[in-house]
Amino acid sequence: MGLKEWNISWLYIIVSVMLLLSLNVVIFDLVSMGRRSYALWLIFLPVGIVLLITFLLHNLKHRIER
């Protein structure tokens, strides 16, 4: 397992955590009907989705190269 692969797996873990956090925030918002955590949701969700798509495309590219 090379350093690059290790970095990518860490990126994947961070993305997963961010997506889980954003989902928790969404659920919390629906329960409390508060607007405070809405800003966090707007930051976490797009960043998480973009990172996840980048990661998936990177994996796909590696599979095609092999």
Query: What pLDDT, in 10s, does the model give residues 25-48?
Result: 777 766 666 555 566 667 777 777
pTM > 0.85: yes or no = no
- Confidence band for 56, pLDDT divided at 50, 70 and 90: confident
pLDDT(1) > 60: no
Number of structural domains the chain divides into: 1
Judging by beta carbons within 10 Å of its beta carbon (0-12, 13-18, 19+), is residue 46 exposed, middle or buried? Answer: exposed
Q: Give the closest residue to 24 by CA, choosing from 65, 32, 8.
A: 32
Q: Which long-range contacts (CB under 8 A, 24 or more apart) does 54-62 make?
A: 55/8, 55/11, 55/12, 55/15, 58/8
- Domain range for 40 is 3-65
- What pLDDT is stored for residue 61 in this prediction? 79
Report the amino acid identity of residue 52.
L
